[in-house]
Structure 1
Amino acid sequence: DAPTWKGKIVASLTLELMAYAGADEFEMRACDTLFEYIYAVAQGFEYRGHNSENKAESGFDGLGILKNEVSNMSDEFTMVRYGVPTFRTNTHSKVVTDIYHTQFDNPNTTSEGKYEDCLKYYGTYLIRLCNLPVAPFDLTRTADKYVGQVDFDYLESLGYNKKLSSLANTYRDNSREIYLKNSLILKLMDYANQQDIDVSSVDFENYNKHVRDTVNTIISQSTHLAGESVTLEVPFYINLIKTLKGGIDSLKEGKGPASETIFRALPASYYTNYLEYDCWYETNTDNINLGARDVLWANDIKVQYLDIYDFYQGLKVKADGDNFEEEIATAEGWLADEALPHLTQAVSDDIDMFTSANRSLNAAIREADALIDALMNLCELN
């Protein structure tokens, strides 16, 4: 019987792990280290709860099991399931230094056999995921990252109330609770299978639907940014505003070189039309806007790019005490026309996002409690 959460599965395996443009051999990255890593991933899942205060208990464990977050971007060790959402790993430094883009990327460390085994164990990983009664989502990474990056005190100083802070922290608490409950459900199912206990009467459909709704809310309503990193829009614009205000104040004090140094810290980002990316385009048209071949993944690009090269060059040729009225006007225009209104929209968007996500997550928690009670009774563990 297929698990109820599965739906339409699209498995996107990042073959760049084992090959990249310019490599003489397709299996270039299938070294011993990568094979051992993928083999370990295919053996099982880590069920321990996430504890942000103790990274040793919650993070990467040797060359052990992936710790996933829900994200709207896909890179590194990636799997996309039923089009949406993306499983994106919390990449530990050991993975980066020992596996990904490393000195092991050379013909002497690989072979066709290692490459084939890497693909085989990727397949094993997918099969194990498909056989689970519930999807092993970890919402805590995204929640912790959001709360950790947003300067809520600064938001208040700009006149925003505490609503976003309250909703985001509630979502973080809920995500931790559902992670632990999800893990307990998987453990109880493992126990039931080992004891040959009939659990066919347990219905996971509602629980999986609520979790899936939460995941899709976070993915579809968080920042859409084409690039190599995930940028959360609220902290992006907070940092942009802080930098612009600091630079403007410095210019008003007549400080040329010092102002240029401040403006150099402007958070850079870029955006593009998602139709340029086949993976995202197909994911969108196959799973979100069904059949709408002319619809973008994101209809509104929220994080905007500021081309500040000419601005820097102008500051370079000026000295302290020069007239900076033109530069001040330019920077104040960026602040008024780009940063402040985009932050207002971003805060509003995220309030809506967390309101919706908390609603479905609260429903998932209630369903999880009922599932745990039912499994405990069947396993006679009460």
Structure 2
Amino acid sequence: MNFDIIITSYNRPKKVEWLVDALQSEIVNKIIIVDSGNNDFNLASDGSKIIICRSSHKNQPYQRFLGVHNAELDWILFLDDDMEPIEGWDIEIRNIIEKYCYSTGMIGLKFEDLHRNSFLKNNLQSISSNKSSSSLNKLFRKISGYPILPMGTYYKNGVKGALPNKESQTDHVSGGAFLASRKFLYKNVNLELFSLYENRMGKGEDGILSYSISKIAPIIMFPTQLFWHNDQGNSVYTQNFYQFNLVVAFSRLFLNREYYRLNNMSMFRSRLSFVNYSFWRILGLSINFLIRPSKSRLSSLKGYLMGVIKAIFYKYQKNMSDINQYWMEQAIKDSEFHGEGKEKYVK
């Protein structure tokens, strides 16, 4: 069974060119490059298989959406532009799709980091990262909104359990590499998420997108590694501490609202849950700073506090269908205006 590939990119043409060449396979129907920069690609590969879409919006969730709008087949492989396939990846993916194509809506794919920049290694440690399973610790984490979750579980405020380490069902996948069926994509997603990313205030797209699919079709995590993640520092994780924590805090309310909406629960309770979660996070960051003062800890605390304040006063769109219609029109416009879509292929 063949499939399409969507690669989202912004100003990394050399990586895209290398990746497209590495992805050449008889099993691949089309490779759709969705670029939000203004790059020319020097692609030596078979041009009849390649579609280039120019995104007028510089946000990855919308770029994926635009790619789906221009895809042809039911099953789509989504890749970041810094992924590197391992030999035999294409045969393995075809086998996975053939095994699950009639019984699931999304398949998570395992990948490992080739590089971990210092921001990732040293500065994203959670105040709730203690793995103790004592009753007291479990109670504290439950009260603070950060419970110890079973593998594959998606929870309030965008909190997630670890991905399964064996082939099994999950509520969410990681966004660097995953497979999805078009018939389940964006069926019950609030595309205001795109607006948040447009304003550099969004995070957690992969989690909430996959969780929305899990409500209508099973998701499988496939634990065999098929890709390397070759991120050498040019990523969202190299932002300063203040901005990173501001975005993390701000995005939690949207993720929580979506969790409550998808489970038909009260938006008022969603806000209360967010306030409780944020209180404990701010308290933890404050204690960390008081125990071991540093500029990075102070910046993290200030950023998180500002993110919570901005989230509380942010006015969300009342009508989800209006914002969804806007982004659908943007995707149609981007496909037609640039003349690319299914018509303009790389020669």
TM-score category (smaller protein): under 0.3
In terms of Rg, which structure is larger?
1
**TM-score after normalising by structure 1:** 0.22
Structure 1 or 2: larger strand share?
A: 2
Structure 1 or 2: larger helix share?
A: 1
**TM-score after normalising by structure 2:** 0.23
